[in-house]
């Protein structure tokens, strides 16, 4: 079971997140026996890597709920976007997820950040397809409206969707989230770009 995000929830402490990940009770009484958090050795290694990178990487259809729940708690405690990449097999595309609600900022700022990240994701996907070599070349060869049209098509081709709550996805009630499907190189590039944009707007 993956824990859903509670709207306007109190921000947990990093100490409590760490305690829960080790199967210990939190000092603030956060957590529930019905929601798994205790990490295995392999999950803890993935968790530590995620903290360094700023995003979680998991296999598609992985049922490692403790890892996903702990990563969500960490993002809420640190006030950073919840970013997760689900990797498919070699022949499949990866799925990129992001939810900005753990930042707990003004709704207008979160919406602006979401739109900025969508624009950057479109640019990354289009560039990887060889359609746009750089921003300067794009400015010289196409109008703003043409660039916007190309970007929207790129996101459409990448199966852009607004996240819906289910047993795998953790979603805010405010809707400051999106997901898209694209290549492995693109998902990681988008994750790094989202982190950079979030840092600038924080």
Q: Does residue 5 form part of some domain?
A: no
pTM of the shown model: 0.76
Strand partners, 22: none
The count of domains in the chain is 1
Are 5 and 101 contacting, i.e. CB atoms less than 8 angstroms apart?
Answer: yes
Q: Which tens digits make up the pLDDT trace of 5-45?
A: 444 567 888 988 888 888 786 656 565 555 567 898 999 99
Cβ-based neighbour number of residue 52 at 10 Å: 6
pLDDT of 173 strictly over 60: no
Please say if the pLDDT value at position 202 is more than 80.
Answer: no
Residue 135 lies in a domain: yes
Let me know if residue 9 belongs to a domain: no
Whole domain around residue 139: which residue ranges? 14-201
Q: Please, what is the end-to-end C-alpha distance for the chain in angstroms?
A: 31
Task: Assess if residue 110 is contained within a domain.
Answer: yes
Percent of the chain with pLDDT over 70: 63
Q: How confident is the model at residue 93 (pLDDT cuts 50, 70, 90)?
A: confident
Please give the structure tokens belonging to residue 145: 């409206």
Is-contact 104 79, C-beta < 8 A? yes
Residue 30 placed within a domain: yes
For residues 196-201, give the mean pLDDT: 88
Burial class (CB in 10 A: 0-12, 13-18, 19+), 58: buried
Q: Which residues pair with 180 in a beta bridge?
A: 96
Q: What is the pLDDT of residue 20?
A: 84
Rounded CA separation 150/85 (Å): 24
Phi, psi of 181 (to 5 degrees): -115, 125
Cα 82 to Cα 44: distance, rounded to the nearest angstrom: 17
d(CA 125, CA 117): 12
Domain assignment present for residue 3? The answer is: no
Is 73 within the bounds of a domain? yes
User: Tens digits of per-residue pLDDT, 144-171?
Assistant: 555 555 555 666 665 666 544 443 344 4
Question: Considering only CA atoms, which of 116, 126, 117 is closest in space to residue 149?
Answer: 126
157 domain residue, yes or no: yes
């Amino acid at each position: 079971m993956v824990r859903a995000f509670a709207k306007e929830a109190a921000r947990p402490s990093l100490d409590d997140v760490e305690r829960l990940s080790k199967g210990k009770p939190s000092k603030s009484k956060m957590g529930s026996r019905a929601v798994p958090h205790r990490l295995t050795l392999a999950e803890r290694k993935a968790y530590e890597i995620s903290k360094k990178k700023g995003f979680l990487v998991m296999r598609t259809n992985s049922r490692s709920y403790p890892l996903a729940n702990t990563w969500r708690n960490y993002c809420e405690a640190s006030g950073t976007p919840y970013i997760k990449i689900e990797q498919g097999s070699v022949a499949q595309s990866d799925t990129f997820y992001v939810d900005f609600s753990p930042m707990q900022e003004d709704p207008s700022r979160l919406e602006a950040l979401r739109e900025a990240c969508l624009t950057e994701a479109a640019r990354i996907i289009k560039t990887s397809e060889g359609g746009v070599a750089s921003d300067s070349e794009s400015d010289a060869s196409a109008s703003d409206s043409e660039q916007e049209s190309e970007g929207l098509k790129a996101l459409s081709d990448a199966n852009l969707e607004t996240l819906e709550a289910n047993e795998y996805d953790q979603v805010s009630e405010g809707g400051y989230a999106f997901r898209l499907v694209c290549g492995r190189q693109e998902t990681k590039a988008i994750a790094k770009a989202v982190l950079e944009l979030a840092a600038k707007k924080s």
